[in-house]
Structure 1
Amino acid sequence: MKRRYTILSLCISTLSVNISYAQIARQQAAYQNPKLSIDARVKDLLQRMTLEEKIAQMRHIHSEHFDKSQRVDFAKLNSNNTHLSYGCVENLSLSSVGYAKAIYHLQRFMRDSTRLGIPVIPEIEGLHGVVQDGATIYPQSIALASTFNPQLVTGMTDQIGSLVNRMGVKQVLSPVLDLARELRWGRVEETYGEDPFLVGEMATAYVKGLRKHNIICTPKHFVGHGSPLGGINLGSVEGGTRQLFNLYLPPFAKVIKEANPLSIMNCYSSYDGEPVAGSFYLLTDVLRKKLGFKGYVYSDWGSISMLYYFHKTASGPEDAARQAVMAGIDLEAGGNDYKLLEDMVKNGTIQQRYIDSAVSHILYAKFAAGLFEAPLPDTAQVEPYTHTRQSVQLAKQLADESAVLLKNNGVLPLQLVKIKSLAVIGPNADRVQFGDYTWSRNNKDGVTPLKGIKDLAGDQIKVNYAQGCDLVSQDKSGFKAAADAAQASDATVVFVGSQSASLSRDYKDASSGEGFDLSDLKLPGVQEELVEALKATGKPLIVVLVTGKPFAISWIKTNADAIITQFYAGEQEGNAIADILFGKVNPSGKLPVSFPQDVGHLPVYYNHLPSDRGFYKQPGSIDKPGRDYVFSTPDALWSFGYGLSYTSFTYSDFQVSKENYATKDTIQVKLKVANTGSMAGKEVVQLYVNDKVSSIETPVEQLKAFSKVSLQPNEAKQVVLKIPVTDLAIYSRDGHPMVEDGEFELRIGIGADSIRWKKTVVVEKLSVKKSTPVLNKATDNKSRRKKTSL
């Protein structure tokens, strides 16, 4: 969602309230009775509403409801005695206290000065922290995913929920469920990575934390948005029904089933040639009928208008509004096409039943979120929850667990008693990289790596700093000062990577974030040349990649002594990386997305089909040309799930609950994990599955379970991982899940390409009514494999 935020000072003078007979009457109406079911309350309220009131529910209070001095124009809201309440209010980018006061008065207006007293839904962005001045900025989503710790993510959104609930906010426009399958795309940083299982786990954890506070969540962008053609934002997504159901839908299905988010945001893209904003199949047949979604669909900003001026599938605003409403978009954000609906109903262009359906979905969410019972924020309790000791501690823990150690030739951790001087170099050394969808890009709102290192080192280590180069320019004039600083030090840490625009503001130096896509995945500017110059000094070289996405850093992998990827780590970035460099924290992050050797190797996601990494298996090199590819291998530089530690772990005592399973069963794998090193650490145990023979091509392996375990030196723990057999299902062309009988190989690993243990189990044939034969042969080559319909 692309949006522009401005500071809006609202008129918060006391509203005079005149209690009328209409207010008394509506207090006795059925829809005001919380003891009734939500469906009954929706039905009662809907039949009381005029067409004009219904359509207002499908729209925002936005810029048109503020005067030129940017004050709320209550007279305009109440103009012509229409007494309209609206669906949502947004774009109130104030301090948290100012926001709460504004919403307090706005909700009083809606409750007391509109005919039916329907509250508005105040909404806000909150991908990795509340987008309000002064609120805690947590690590970006890609960093949250690298923790492989869903419990911490739930803790984060529990903290966010404590604040926004007091502010009067009842909807958070997050999380992002897109899969990072196209690494050139600028919004990779907003995702939880490339794997649908991990994305589903993290997104569900996110939603559960906010739902504790009865906040509406809006998982986005439905559906397929993370795989745009060419990596260009808003580009079309190619795929069919099998790819839709087997790859893109599972994260949404999990969140809807397990966390009840109450809202979904459609994407800008087209899928298989059909713009999602106008797709009845995707928004109604799939989302509501297949996935069982019962909340309301919130349009991504301006996506309805895009049907006519971008996709060219609508003839104009009226046609776009008709298509979107009939497809299943209930509320329009960032546009004015839905204001045409009243006349369209009156002239017969669209049937009112579509309006009633949309409004019922919006009202359902409002009742479910408790807006009718307690719509007014507690303004006195906002400031103490804006930036708390607990939220800062959690931001630090998330940053600690998100850093991924990719290489270590024994130089890390640095030891204060041995290192007397340290060079801190690079364009990202003295700035905090918060990532997109944050309220700040100012160092004062976080801790830079340079500050974190200096604070930790104190008087024990001399820190020699030089920037070296900018993030994107070709200027090498700072190389000499950087090399001199390295020469004068015992070791060098260089901070390279990217920078994101913040909500499409502060464009300078941006190479990541919404609308900032790349045609090449080499480090921007002359950053790699800076690393080469530092390597030439002969001093131990530690590279920290501060980024929102993977870059192709093959030369650095070969030549650096140690490499850490620190995905945008939030306000505690500097403290976290300092503690990791000096061993106060043991890195435990794992890659949620694979790194490519070069942009020409894309895609490099681990869960590819068997036919997608070459046939000849004779990869070449510069010195020895081959096939698949002529001058390189098709392998990733680092694969999904990879990440090192300062300690060592051993896996042993593997057990499987049994070897033959029915579809109603759950596969259970037990093993012992031991810390055999000298430092406390955390290990992520990963369980993958390979379907050995299937009726359609299935990925070479798929993550199906994981567990993060904390171990002291010489400590061992039993880890139990479970997979419901139904999770082994594949989907037919019509989106029906089927578990096929036959052999499945279980794989325990420390990464997708680092498997420690394998075991084959069998899903047995069952005689069921919907069991259908398939064309491929079973593993014994004698009988045909069967599917069990779920």
Structure 2
Amino acid sequence: MKRLALLIAVALSVIMSFAAKNKKKAQQPLKPMNEFVSELMGKMTVQEKIGQLNLLPSGDIQTGISENSSVSEAIRNGRLGAILNLKGVENIRKVQQMAVEESRLGIPIIFGMDVIHGYETIFPIPLALACSWDIPAIEQSARIAAKEATADGLFWTYSPMVDISIDPRWGRVAEGAGEDPFLGSRIAEAMVRGYQGDGSIYSTDKMMACLKHYALYGGSEAGRDYNTVDMSRIRMYNQYLPPYKAAVEAGVGSVMSSFNTVDYVPATGNKWLLTDVLRRQWKFDGFVVTDYGAINEMMNHGMGNQQQVAALALKAGTDMDMCSEAFTATLEKSLQEGKVTIDEINQACRRVLEAKYKLGLFHDPYRYCDKKRRASDIYTAEHRQAARNLAAETFVLLKNDHVLPLKKQGTIALIGPLADTKNNVPGSWAPTATYQYPTLREGMQKALQGKATLLYAQGSNICRDSVLQADGSFYRSIPRGDDARMRQEALDIARKADVIVCAMGELQEMSGECASRSDLELFDVQRELLEELLKLDKPVVLLNFAGRPTVLSWEQQHVPAILNVWFAGSETGDAICDVLFGDKSPSGKLTMSMPKNMGQIPVYYNHLNTGRPVAEGTQKFVKFQSNYLDVRNEPLYPFGYGLSFTTFEYSDMTLSSNQVSADGSITASVTVKNTGSYDADEVVQLYICDKVGSISRPVKELKGFKRIHLKAGESQVVTFTITPDLLKFYDYNLDYVLEPGDFDIMIGPNSRDVKRGRVYLRGN
């Protein structure tokens, strides 16, 4: 026993000595970043430098990494720089300890995950967030996501996704801000600030953001994911690149290259894109990581074998290889053969190590592994309330024939396949979600308790085609049943009700990555059920669940009230009830135009004119003009559109001057009055059209917006300052220019219904 006690005492002494040594080491001040990284790299072998450029998945998100796995072997050998998709502070600490204590140089690992619109408190999908036009609240959502993720050990997120897209067939529109570069830029900046703070040295409740997908991923042909992108550089600079540039200027720490080609060269191997534009023009000083497996995918693009595409990626400016293992497999050989240089490897390694320095990992590799924060900072009441408030701001009221808001009385029938499904509450890209969030049915039961009777029926499958429904569920399915029987159940309860609420649309995984759709109309069995419910001649409200703009022309004609609720996150049930029953007035405004039919796609507000334009608002076919025989040019619902429970009246516009100099500014003002009976928010929007330019210019471009709150009967003067910078554009030579001439100034509640004025810009 004495011998055992002695052994235990010695062991404890060693452990305490080791802990004290590590604590002392962690508390020692580090040398300045450049000097520290240079000294560290001086100790590293070529293999260890290449290892820092290697990012691998953990395997199972929840259970961690086996000590005998290939990932563990790579960590111990100093051949791994980062890990994605490992959740849980204890799992992360265990792996970090392996890197710090069992590899030769003890270089810590970066842990990342797709924290896209929340961690465990889930906010609405990014497209919905954009429809709030509430920049401070969007920034707060990113700040809360960072606080929760870092409390669970994670400190790198693959967000924000800022790809502009004008094609709703592309499923990943759910992950972006929509079709407009100005709004997209403001949201990109806000998300970066929310995740990172200033990004110089990260505090433990901040995480490194990763701008994606650089670049042009949202321009994929036919809306098919991973597909070809081909456009002029003028269009890139004026329409697609501004949000990326805005995120870089906001200090984003990392950038993810996109899958698609740019000028026929895959983005991951495109030196013009990654070096000339990103680093030389925009002065980005962080590191570039590929998208999942993108280096190996360049072989499918016809760019060579694995060794060739890995060398191409490195020389183009790619610093970290996500999951291809192409760098670790080939770069040492390419170095020996003179196909890459040691300077190129060193440059990429330095960028990764600098990110680790800024994250504070060399000061304390376990600084994000505080178990106490895991218990106190995740899914809190405060965070949930913020998510609930913001979700209500994202809902877009598309139509309301005196049906909404509903009263909490009588009998209400809740019908539809999206009414009671926990799997489809959070929205796509919520891999950390617990899926125990309240459903709409549960939210309505709580809201109506003791006040009204709620009846429920699923009513239908998502669609008649079981294979299509399974393909679109991605393991987050809803129960399938017999459509005839479910429809009859729905009709039976609807006959007993005073009002019918229909929760219909697509499953959450029917938008997002690899979720392109060629037909965006309401699925067959849901439409058939809706038609039967409308025949009962009772008030019907359609809650349209979607991760993209959908085609609602038939619904616009026949359904009395339509509220687009997107996928609103963990607080979906309560947030919908807040608006449905009038505790809050809807204030969301579309950030993607909603087409009348599939043949109109792409339809977007900031298009160029044609030589034979049809006048805006024309309601009939005009021969020898640019229009369709069978549908008018305008979308069903334009960019910026969204109704309220109240009404707003806009005065004519007042301009402080009808001329502006190249170094001056003017103001444009309107008075907005709440002419209805509900207190509500309104998003006032500023658009500008350059009437004469050296290249053809869009018919209008968003250049400002303000979200205001007006009580019933209240008025407010809303003023925008128009500076020369708002009038600039990239010309044929890609110079950012200010050209004199006439500009139309427009202010209104959406891109269609505007008050106009004209300003002349004088030359120098």
Same fold (TM over 0.5): yes
Match of 1:50 in 2: 45
Equivalent positions of 1:362-441 (< 5 A) are: 362-376=352-366, 377-416=369-408, 419-431=409-421, 432-439=424-431
How far apart, CA to CA, are the structure 2 residues paired with 1:76 and 1:582? 52
**Correspondence for 1:507:** none
Q: Return 158-167 or 739-748, whichever deviates more.
A: 158-167
Match of 1:262 among 253, 265, 290: 253
1:662-699 Cα deviation digits (max 9, x unpaired): 34444433443332322110000101111111111111
Matching of residue 284 in structure 1 with residue 275 in structure 2 = yes
User: How many angstroms apart in 2 are the aligned matches of 1:623 and 1:725?
Assistant: 38
Distance apart, 1:350 and its partner CA:
1.4
- The answer on 1:137 being equivalent to 2:122 is yes
Following TM superposition, by how much is the alpha carbon of 1:617 offset from its aligned partner in structure 2, in angstroms? Answer: 8.2
**Equivalent pair of 2:52/2:79 in contact (CA under 8 Å):** yes
Q: C-alpha distance in 1, partners of 2:378/2:673?
A: 40
Letter in 2 for 1:360: R
Is residue 705–residue 723 contact of structure 1 (8 Å, CA) maintained in 2? no
| SS state at 2:217 partner | coil
CA displacement at 1:279 relative to structure 2: 0.5
- 1:369 corresponds to which letter in structure 2? L
Q: Is residue 271–residue 317 contact of structure 2 (8 Å, CA) maintained in 1? A: yes
Deviation at 1:226, TM superposition (A): 0.9
Partner of 1:732: 731
Asked if the contact 2:47/2:79 (under 8 Å) is kept, the reply is no
**CA displacement 1:468-521 (0-9 Å, x = unmatched):** 2111225641323222322221121111111133xxxxxxxxx32211211111
2:468 paired residue number: none
Work out whether residues 137 and 438 of structure 1, in 8 Å CA contact, stay in contact via their aligned partners in 2: yes
Is 2:266 the counterpart of 1:275? yes
Moved more, 142-151 or 649-658: 649-658
1:15 and 1:613 map into 2 onto residues whose CA distance is 86
For residues 322-341 of structure 1, the aligned pairs below 5 Å read 322-339=311-328, 340-341=330-331
Report the alpha carbon displacement of residue 624 of structure 1 after superposing the two structures with TM.
12
Aligned to 1:105: 94
Structure 2 residue aligned with 1:175? 160
- The aligned residue for residue 764 of structure 1 is 762
Q: 2: distance between equivalents of 1:63 and 1:735? A: 43
**Distance across 2 between alignment mates of 1:457 and 1:243:** 51
Structure 1 match to 2:678: 679
Quote the Cα distance in structure 2 between the aligned partners of 1:586 and 1:651.
Answer: 19
Q: CA RMSD in A?
A: 3.1
Equivalent residues, number = 721
Deviation at 1:77, TM superposition (A): 4.7
Q: In the alignment, residue 710 of structure 1 is paired with which amino acid?
A: H
User: 5 Å matches for 1:140-155?
Assistant: 140-155=125-140
- Large movers: runs of 4+ above 6 Å: 13-20, 616-627
Matched residue, 1:59: 54
Equivalent residue, structure 2, for 1:305:
296
Q: Offset at 1:754? A: 1.2
Distance 2:505 2:158 in 1: 28
Structure 1 runs not aligned, ≥5 long: 1-12, 94-98, 502-510, 767-790
Cα contact 2:502–2:541 (8 A) shared by 1: yes
SS of the residue corresponding to residue 721 of structure 1 reads: strand
Matches for 1:87-98 after TM superposition, within 5 Å: 87-93=81-87
Give 1:241 shift: 0.7
Change (3 A) 1:423 1:125: same
1:372–1:491 CA distance, 2 compared to 1 (3 A):
same
Aligned equivalent of 1:353: 343
Asked whether the 8 Å contact 1:42–1:364 carries over to 2, the reply is yes
Counterparts in 2 of 1:524 and 1:92: CA distance versus 1, 3 Å:
same
- Contact kept? 1:613, 1:634, Cα under 8 Å: no
* Paired residue type of 2:314: V
Distance 1:69 1:211 in 2: 26
Residues 37-77 of structure 1, C-alpha deviation per residue, up to 9 Å, x if partnerless?
x34443443344221121011002545999x9942349985
Whole-Å separation in 2 of the counterparts to 1:434 and 1:518: 20
The change in CA–CA distance for 1:720 and 1:149 in structure 2 (over 3 A counts) is: same
Q: Could you give the per-residue CA deviations for residues 271-323 of structure 1, whole angstroms, max 9, x where no partner exists?
A: 23221111101111111111221100010000110000x21222x11011011
Do the aligned partners of residues 721 and 625 (structure 1) sit closer, same or farther apart at CA in structure 2, a change above 3 Å counting? closer
Q: 1:479-558 residue pairs with structure 2 within 5 A? A: 479-501=487-509, 511-558=510-557
**Contact 1:621–1:631 under 8 Å retained in 2:** no
Give the 3 Å change call, closer, same or farther, for CA 460–685 of structure 1 in structure 2. Answer: same
How far is the alpha carbon of 1:268 from its aligned partner? 0.5
Question: Aligned partners of 2:730, 2:546: CA distance in 1, in Å?
Answer: 35
Structure 1 pair 194–618 and aligned structure 2 pair: CA distance change class (3 A)? closer
Q: Provide the rounded CA distance (Å) in 2 between the counterparts of 1:65 and 1:459.
A: 45
Which amino acid in structure 2 is aligned with residue 86 of structure 1? L
CA distance in 2, matches of 1:563, 1:14: 67
TM-score norm. by structure 1 comes to: 0.85
Mean Cα displacement is larger for which, 454-463 or 384-393?
454-463
Q: 1:15 to 1:436 in 2, by over 3 A?
A: farther
Mapped contact 1:57–1:86 kept (Cα < 8 A): yes
- Distance, in Å, in 2 between the alignment partners of 1:623 and 1:670 is 36
Distance 1:639 1:75, change over 3 A: closer
Q: In the alignment, which residue of structure 2 is the partner of 1:776? A: none
> Does the CA contact (< 8 Å) of 1:469 and 1:527 recur in 2?
yes
Residues 446 and 63 of structure 1: is their aligned pair in 2 closer, same or farther, counting only changes over 3 Å?
closer
For residues 513 and 542 of structure 2, the distance between their equivalents in structure 1, rounded to whole angstroms, comes to 26
1:104 is aligned with what amino acid? R
CA spacing shift, 1:761–1:700, aligned 2, 3 Å? same
> CA separation in 1, counterparts of 2:722 and 2:72?
54
Greater displacement, 57-66 / 290-299: 57-66
Q: Alignment partner of 1:218: what SS?
A: strand
CA 1:82/1:590 → structure 2, altered by over 3 Å: closer, same or farther? closer
Kindly indicate whether the alpha-carbon contact (under 8 Å) linking 2:56 and 2:322 is maintained by their aligned counterparts in 1: no
Matched, 1:206 2:191: yes
Structure 1 residues 613 and 323, CA, compared in 2 at 3 Å: closer, same or farther? farther
* Amino acid paired to 1:321: A
Instruction: Give the aligned partner of residue 114 of structure 2.
Output: 125
Indicate the SS of the match to 1:292. Answer: coil
Instruction: Indicate how the Cα distance of structure 1 residues 166 and 575 shifts in structure 2: closer, same or farther if over 3 A, else same.
Output: closer
Q: Which residue of 1 aligns with 2:309?
A: 320
Match of 1:295 among 245, 267, 286: 286
Partner Cα distance (1:616, 1:149) in 2: 33
Task: Check if 1:585 corresponds to 2:570.
Answer: no
Match of 1:771 in 2: none
Partner of 2:8: none
* Residue correspondence of structure 1 range 190-201 to structure 2 within 5 A: 190-201=175-186
CA distance, structure 2, for counterparts of residue 606 and residue 572 of structure 1: 32
The unaligned stretches of length 5 or more in structure 2 are 1-10, 198-202, 466-481
C-alpha distance in 2, partners of 1:54/1:739? 46
* Equivalent residue in structure 1 for 2:462, among 471, 474, 479: 471
Counterpart secondary structure, 1:122:
strand
SS in 2 for 1:221: strand
Aligned equivalents of 1:266, 1:243: Cα separation in 2:
19
The 3-state SS of whatever aligns with 1:159 is helix
